[in-house]
A and B are shown apart, each in its own frame.
Chain A
Amino acid sequence: MLTRNLVLTSSCLAALLAVSGCASSSSAGTQQSQDLTLAVASEPVGLDPSVAANGNTSSWFVDLAYQSLISTDENGGLAPGLAEKWEFVGGHKQLKVTLRPGLKFADGTDLRAKDVVASIEYFKKGSGPSSVYFKDLDLEAASDLEVLISSPDENPLLPTLLTPKYMGGGIISPKGLEDPDALNASTFGAGPYQLDAAQTVSGDQYVYVPNKNYYDPEAVKFEEVTIRIIPNVTSQVQALKTGQIDLMQGDVSVMSDVTGESKLSVTSSPTFWNGLYFADRDGKVSPALADERVRQALNYGIDREAIAKAAYGEYGSAESQPMVPGDPTFGYDEELTDYYTYDPQKARDLLAEAGYADGFTLSIPYKASQAPSTKMVQSIAAQLEEVGVKVTLEPGANTGEWVSKLVSLQHGAFQQDSSGRPMILAAEMGWLPGGVLNPFNVKDADVQDAYDALVEAGEDPDGAKAKEMMRVLVEKAITLPVAKADEIFVYDNTKLRDIDFIGDSPKLSYVYDWEPANAG
């Protein structure tokens, strides 16, 4: 009797297994040749370009399906995308963009100038990291293939905004715009690939197949591109080693596991700086921060080299300016890298000079989900305590909590990791009134003057004006940069041909430009 029951129970469980297995979808398995499989740690905020994040990995979800008006070449220069040419019309307030003839969206409908206008008008209202740069632009379809993009102020970066990095140039079809909710579940672009909804499992894997209506079929290198969500970075390394994925974003903690594997190659480049923004430079909640000497003192009070090493190992280095190396428009100045040396005595002297010999208290929200950022702020707190500044750390367990603390206007400074970008855009975001990283809306006359001079100069090919602005930011200690750090990518060199960063920029080459290792 018992044996029969045991057999019955086991059989029921086994049947349950088989039935469960039948009903579910696949997200693993061996790869076909000419397929590409990438891994990321978290699912995308959304597939809608107007809300999607534009980081090196988060942009993959959009880049594959939405071709930008203007692309970039391997050196970071501008190159034709959906637009075959573009030119400023009188100064830098209006850009005329001419589309290639014969373009089609993935659904087969024609792509015309009016579609570009509609798409960017929709993008302007989004909450993505780049929508803010488009909000003041006016658009007009001058003809079937010509679009006029106008800015109220001189804006020499208009063409740059239309590149993939800033998302807005990735054109969404009218069908996608009719139902914006659908933009998060599918793709409606004119890029080399399109999302295969049948194989896609939200939060697990996103599968892209070639777009048969893409204008340059030769440029479509893979039969299928899959982006898998593998939250655990150690699991990603294991998947890479066993050939289940072709490329992953590395992490300092796993690099020792990767080094020495002949089939794995590593590429890295400084892509972001991490540190503090002094948000309350008007001194509303932290009166001390209104004094430039206090901010400079805080900059002198920390040992950047030690903190960078602790947080990022060999993939980070000390940095005194709020930027990373890139093209000249970034304004990165090597002479400013070590501007603030570690000098606790100088920090105390400056504080005393400013009337804060007894120190003061400062609360700092930070992104607790980022291990390096947590290490960094804890080190900052310990070192500033030694010069008399008591730091209260406010962990933001998730993005929502961190943002809530930021906009609460109760904290004089906050931790933020910022990617490299042209100085004009960085200033608009972080240091001018109305910038999203300037919650107290502080206006600094010197910073404003430097920005105005930069904009007035128009094109700044050697970055001289951008560097001038950078010097103002550093000397006035608008921020407390600590380190610039690399993003690290590890890939299977038997599957992929050399993956690298674009020129001197912090931007990884675009996923749709990658080639199989055995490509002719």
Chain B
Amino acid sequence: MLRLFLHRLAVSVPLLVLVSAVTFILQALIPGDPARTLLGVNASQEQYLELRQALNLDAPFLTRYWDYLSGVLQGDLGESIFTSIPVITSVLQRLPVTLTLMAGAALLAAVIGIALGVWSATRGRAVSKAVDALSMVGFALPNFWLGLVLVSVFAISIPIFPATGFTSFEDDSVAWLMCLILPWAALALNGIASIGKVTRDSMKTTLDMDYIRTLRAAGVKRRSLVWKHALKNSGVPVLTMTGLTMIHFLSGTVLVENVFALPGLGTLAVNSINNHDTPVTQGVVLTFTVLVIVINLAVDMAYTVLNPKVRLS
């Protein structure tokens, strides 16, 4: 397992460099000029040129990228062009909100998705078709639209949950939970559909295997047969889909945070891109990349738990 971890770490470094380079290039291609965005229309030409120099925008692209990369390698992600707040401060301030949103939605999606998948695999065709239909609805509904509908119903018509905003756990644990239930629901639905479908297909395959028939014939109870034997051996694809779902949630957080006005990395990303605040955008993208790497690593580690035969060759 240690070898696996070190191998992943070694591969991650060039990946991060590549992602930072691609992001830097894409940012440079966005129409407009950060200095113009910062100054607006009222600045004089002298002020504009002065700011371009101060922001190093006149330097060649490769020089600017190298300056940025060498800073990152020393742990300095730079400062926001607009607020002068260090990027690392903004990211660390908002990261917990996004992690909370992702983790909660993932837990919800995994628990409900697996339960639905097992249920539809072990019941008749009618139940299976119903789950298929539900999956299609889950795939089709945009999470931001669902968020607005959930607020309309459960925050306004039936005022149970708050419409917007975030309360930290340390300030009020109940309010924290209440303000996250609707965002979790909005984000998780798509994941429930994906995980449910993969679980169902994988379980069906496993339940048709000889060793299951043997166990059944030997008198093993149905509950144990399904939840202990079949589900475990169906786990690898389910785990893969759960990991992919969590990664998918990263992009979902951008819209869901917007709808619920959650102070997470998603809203930070949107604001920084609109404002042409390159250091902040780079910082958020790098953070997202690290999260993807960590999620993939966690999934790989979990494979070894589920199936000891899985090893790095």
B-binding residues in A (CB < 8 A) = 1-3, 5-6, 9-10, 13-14, 16-30, 42-43, 45-46, 51, 53, 125, 127-129, 131-132, 181, 184-185, 201-205, 228-232, 234-235, 238-239, 241-242, 244, 369, 396-404, 406-407, 436-437
In the complex, what residues of A have CB within 8 A of residue B179's CB?
28-29
The answer to whether residues A26 and B36 also contact, given A45-B82, A239-B261 and a CB cut-off of 8 A, is no
In the complex, what residues of B have CB within 8 A of residue A396's CB?
31-32
Report whether A17 and B107 are in contact in the complex, using a CB–CB cutoff of 8 Å. Answer: yes
In the complex, what residues of A have CB within 8 A of residue B164's CB?
28, 228, 230, 235, 238-239, 244
Report whether A234 and B148 are in contact in the complex, using a CB–CB cutoff of 8 Å. Answer: yes
Smallest CB–CB gap between B256 and chain A, Å? 11
Given known contacts A26-B172, A234-B148, A235-B164, what 12 new A-B pairs fall within 8 Å (CB)?
A2-B232, A25-B166, A26-B165, A29-B172, A42-B271, A184-B82, A203-B90, A369-B274, A397-B30, A398-B37, A398-B276, A402-B41
The answer to whether residues A13 and B42 also contact, given A28-B167, A203-B271 and a CB cut-off of 8 A, is no
CA distance A276 to B123 in the complex (A): 66
CA distance A437 to B259 in the complex (A): 36
Q: Which residue of B lies closest to A397 (CB)?
A: B31
Report whether A436 and B42 are in contact in the complex, using a CB–CB cutoff of 8 Å. Answer: yes
The answer to whether residues A202 and B83 also contact, given A28-B165, A398-B276 and a CB cut-off of 8 A, is yes
Between-chain CB contacts (< 8 Å), 17 pairs: A13-B107, A14-B107, A17-B107, A21-B100, A25-B168, A26-B165, A26-B166, A28-B167, A42-B274, A125-B47, A203-B271, A232-B261, A235-B164, A399-B37, A400-B35, A401-B31, A436-B42
CA distance A184 to B173 in the complex (A): 32
- Indicate if B253 sits at the interface (CB-CB under 8 A): no
Smallest CB–CB gap between B273 and chain A, Å? 9
How many A-B pairs with Cβ below 8 Å? 237
In the complex, what residues of A have CB within 8 A of residue B152's CB?
238
Smallest CB–CB gap between A376 and chain B, Å? 19
The answer to whether residues A2 and B228 also contact, given A22-B169, A27-B165, A238-B164 and a CB cut-off of 8 A, is yes
Interface code B251-294, partner A: CB below 8 Å = 1, 0 otherwise?
A: 00000001111110001101100111000000000000000000
- Indicate if B71 sits at the interface (CB-CB under 8 A): no
Question: How many residues from B make CB contacts under 8 Å with A?
Answer: 79
In the complex, what residues of B have CB within 8 A of residue A230's CB?
164, 261
- Indicate if B97 sits at the interface (CB-CB under 8 A): yes
Q: Which residue of B lies closest to A429 (CB)?
A: B42
Report whether B41 and A239 are in contact in the complex, using a CB–CB cutoff of 8 Å. Answer: no
- Indicate if B68 sits at the interface (CB-CB under 8 A): no
Smallest CB–CB gap between B110 and chain A, Å? 8
CA distance A234 to B274 in the complex (A): 20
In the complex, what residues of B have CB within 8 A of residue A369's CB?
274
Q: Which residue of B lies closest to A8 (CB)?
A: B305
Report whether A21 and B168 are in contact in the complex, using a CB–CB cutoff of 8 Å. Answer: yes
In the complex, what residues of B have CB within 8 A of residue A125's CB?
47
- Indicate if B99 sits at the interface (CB-CB under 8 A): yes
Interface code B130-150, partner A: CB below 8 Å = 1, 0 otherwise?
A: 000000000000000000100
